[in-house]
Chain A
Amino acid sequence: MRSISDKNILDEFCIKFCSVVEKHCKYIVVSGFVAISSGRTRATEDIDMIIERIPIEEFKKLHSDLLKNGFSCIQSESADEIFDYLMHNTAVRYIMKDRALPQMEMKFAKDALDDYQLKTRIKLPLTGLGIWFSSINMNIAFKEEALKSDKDLKDAEHLRKVYSEMVDEQEISEIKKMIRKLRL
């Protein structure tokens, strides 16, 4: 049994992964972990990350740095193969070597909406984590307009209440329009 500290297993895994990625490209953590790190009590086994599209030479350096720091990719060992997955807009999953969970699901930014998410990324001091998240309005819009499962709607509700001062209905509405245009 692991000991209880201020940071939980997801926090520690995410902080370590982000500290490596940060050295190589712009990234954001999106979706469920935004709600969970903001106090939502629900289960998850993966954290979702979007990174800017980088050339293969840069990706090789990132992958090599992740391996050096104890991470391993579930789909492949080969940076070329993993890059190919990313270029086809398929998410790749990294774990800490020899530990099945949690997993970091990483994908390339694929359209104007992802570019906007990266551009408007924020840090959330309330989480106690110094990492980059997509904005609260972006997460609410995605969960209410695109994802829509019971779990996602409750995540959105949680975010709306915890970060009520950051909620901007006009921006959420604009993002929902972009989602309908680009994703649905």
Chain B
Amino acid sequence: MSEEIDRWIKFMQENPDKWKKLHTEFINAQFDKAERFWKELLKQPNGKQKLIDVYGIKNLKGYEGLLK
């Protein structure tokens, strides 16, 4: 049994109007962070190739705009 899970579920139960906003911010933050990092990496030498390797991109056309 994990204490952190119990703690969070208790918070959800006690704060039905607050937890969703915190949860949404938490989830969105990881994508914002990844996107910012992606943009920085693209400015580096070989950055584009690194991204292609990391995500296993084979359909380059589907990523055209992003890899510019």
Contact = CB atoms under 8 A, between A and B. Distances in A.
Interface of A: 1-2, 4-10, 36, 39-41, 43, 45, 72-77, 95, 97-102, 154, 157-158, 161-162
Contacts, number: 86
A41 B23 contact: yes
A161 B9 contact: yes
B30 interface: yes
Interface of B is mostly: helix
Contacts of B57: 74
Nearest to B34: A101
B63 A100 contact: yes
Contact of B55 (A9, A36, A100): A100
Contacts of A2: 28, 31-32
Given A77-B61, A77-B62, A154-B2, A43 B30 contact: yes
B20 to A, nearest CB: 7
A45 B9 contact: no
18 contacts: A4-B28, A8-B28, A10-B27, A40-B5, A41-B23, A73-B59, A75-B59, A76-B59, A77-B62, A95-B62, A97-B62, A98-B64, A98-B65, A100-B35, A100-B51, A101-B31, A158-B9, A161-B9
Given A4-B25, A7-B24, A9-B28, A77 B19 contact: no
A118 B48 CA distance: 39
A100 B63 CA distance: 8
B36 to A, nearest CB: 9
Contacts of B28: 2, 4, 8-9
B27 A36 contact: yes
B23 A8 contact: yes
Nearest to A95: B62
B20 A6 contact: yes
A95 B64 CA distance: 13
Given A8-B28, A101-B31, A39 B23 contact: yes
